[in-house]
Amino acid sequence: MKRIMLTVAYDGTAYHGWQLQPRAVSVEEVLNRELSRVTGEEIKVKGTSRTDAGVHAEGNLCIFDTESPIPPEKFSYAVNRSLPADIVIQESREVPADFHPRKWDSEKTYEYHIVRCRHADPLRSRYAFCCYYDLDAALMSQAAAHLVGEYDFTSFCSADTEKESHVRRILSLTVEERGDEIVLTVTGNGFLYNMVRIIAGTLMEVGKGRIPPAAVAEIRDAKDRKAAGPTAPACGLRLVRIRLIDPPWKAEK
């Protein structure tokens, strides 16, 4: 028996998130199906980040156990042949039998893409939120600074989140203008349900001039979801990478 870790990229538009759902297709379901077909075993992957419906990923991680003779680094090639075009395994490798990326210290980086446009752009609307309002990126950047650090982010998570603790640490949160796009990039040690989308929605309210930048600190300290802005649409969010801190195989090199 060996444990394999996959780095998976996907366009989340057609999926009801990462996690298995009783009446909707998920990324996890498709991976289980194709891995089981290739190995001849019943495979159930265990993911690291349970992205929401419509959210994209460039580098989500998952693991599974198998007795298949396929070399670890070849799983990506073997399974990609039958995966739909919107799910691609970027890398496969063997990891220690007791390793689970969700339980390992890591840093997750998300981006939220906003296109400033008068009308929706059909070539980009799957991967960015088209905003018809003028947004002041400088004000959004000022507001973002109030969210960097370790805080209770109750104001920035859905009320029905199942996590006992709402304390998270944001290592960096930047607002960058790229032509007609504004890109929010946030890195942290973990995120609550809808946390990044609520942060994005709140910062857009700042960019519209509806919330002063300094008020974001008050929203943060209120620990009340009603104090923050709306939840931004899922299409603009993508999980860019999960960086494992000092993984056990690093010492093997």
Q: Is the pLDDT of residue 241 over 70?
A: yes
Give the pLDDT confidence score for residue 118 in this predicted structure. 83
With a cut of 90, say whether residue 215 has pLDDT above it.
Answer: yes
Task: Write the pLDDT tens digit of every residue in 69-91.
Answer: 999 999 999 999 999 999 999 99
Q: Which residue ranges make up each domain of the chain?
A: 2-104, 106-241
246 is catalytic: no
Distance CA(228)–CA(203), nearest Å, equals 9
Long-range contacts for 115-122 (Cβ within 8 Å, ≥24 apart)? 115/180, 115/181, 116/180, 116/181, 116/182, 117/180
Residue written as tokens 């960096």? 172
Task: Say yes or no: domain 106-241 is CATH 3.40.1190.20.
Answer: no
Query: Which pLDDT score is estimated for 162?
Result: 66
Q: Which comes out higher in pLDDT, residue 158 or 227?
A: 227
- Catalytic site residue from 52, 121, 136, 246: 52
Strand pairing category for 167-178 and 46-47: unpaired
Phi and psi at 133, nearest 5°, equal -90, 155
Question: Which one is the CATH code of 2-104: 3.30.420.40, 3.30.70.1350, 3.30.70.580, 3.40.30.160?
Answer: 3.30.70.580
Planar angle of CA 202, 222, 172, nearest 5 degrees: 50
pLDDT in tens, 195-213: 999 999 999 999 999 999 9
pLDDT above 80 (res 113): yes
8 Å CB contact between 22 and 210: no
Of the two residues 219 and 134, the one the predictor is more confident about is 219
Count Cα atoms within 13 angstroms, Cβ side, for 238: 20
> What's the distance, CA 92 to chain centroid?
20
Whether 242 has a pLDDT exceeding 70, the answer reads: yes
- Under 8 Å between Cβ of 197 and 237: yes
d(C-alpha 57, C-alpha 7), whole Å: 10
**Could you tell me which of 142, 153, 129, 146 has the C-alpha nearest to residue 209?**
142
Domains 2-104 and 106-241 share a fold: yes
Q: Is 253 exposed, middle or buried (0-12, 13-18, 19+ CB in 10 A)?
A: exposed
